[in-house]
Amino acid sequence: QTDLIKNKETVQNIYDQDYRFPPPPTKPSLTAVSGDRKVTLYWDRRAEQNMDPILKKLDFQGYKIYKATDPNFNDVRNVTNADGVVEGYQPLAQYDLDDDITGYFYPNEELFQDAQGFTYNLGSNTGLVHQYVDEDVLNGRTYYYALVAYDTGDTTNGLFPAENSKFIQILPSGEVITDQNTAVVIPSSFAAGYALDTTIVVEAGNNTVATGSISVTIVDETQLKGHE
């Protein structure tokens, strides 16, 4: 009966808001690169300039990376609310803006009751990154990854932080369908005799006036040109 009452209140709140709720930030585009006992993930910055169409403000806060061995991410769905009911997913890694927003989101009393004690980790001011190397993998095993962007939520307006969905589907034929922020990777060893020439030459342009130094890191070897 308690759950029925809570669900009725939630539906009423949705109706009162005219079905208008702030969406999560724009989905980032994730690229996953298979390596020898490692997976390299990298992504763009499109989510970081997200303007909430309802709150009329920039509300992007950070990224969470989820990793699983099943396409529904069930093996990392283990974060519970105050009643012990599973409500959320445990991220592999999290990166957020280095600002004055940190720790857990503190909802107002009504929102806290609606969420049944479940809250949301907004990060620890790590600063943003756009690359992650996962070396806790085994060659030949399939791994599923999702990169979600999330916003700050809004206590005053009773809005819980929102994050992107993570969609991966395996069809009966075996075909795998991913979204722009998800990936499926099988790490593997390199072919016998493979070696990457890591000598990189950086040449200054004709109109260069700066005196700084430049370092280059290869993130995705598959995108290198002219090395056949």
pLDDT of the residue at 6: 45
Mean pLDDT score, 186-207: 67
pLDDT band at 224 (very low <50, low <70, confident <90, very high): low
Mean pLDDT score, 52-63: 88
Task: Return the closest-CA partner of residue 121 out of 83, 161, 74, 87.
Answer: 161
Calculate what percentage of the chain has a pLDDT beyond 90.
57
Task: Return the closest-CA partner of residue 134 out of 216, 63, 36.
Answer: 36
Q: Please report, to the nearest 10 degrees, the dihedral formed by the alpha carbons of residues 106, 29, 181, 42 taken in order.
A: -90
Higher pLDDT, 214 or 40: 40
pLDDT band at 84 (very low <50, low <70, confident <90, very high): confident
Q: Please report, to the nearest 10 degrees, the dihedral formed by the alpha carbons of residues 202, 28, 65, 127 taken in order.
A: 60
Check: CATH 2.60.40.10 for 2-185? yes
pLDDT of the residue at 182: 99
Model-level pTM? Answer: 0.80
155, 56 contact by CB (below 8 A): no
In the structure encoding, which two tokens stand for residue 223, read together?
């995108």
Range from 23-27, 74-78, 79-83, 88-92 carrying the lowest mean pLDDT: 79-83
Whether the per-residue pLDDT at 62 is higher than 90: the answer is yes
pLDDT of the residue at 53: 82
In the structure encoding, which two tokens stand for residue 101, read together?
């927003």
Range from 6-15, 62-71, 126-135 carrying the lowest mean pLDDT: 6-15
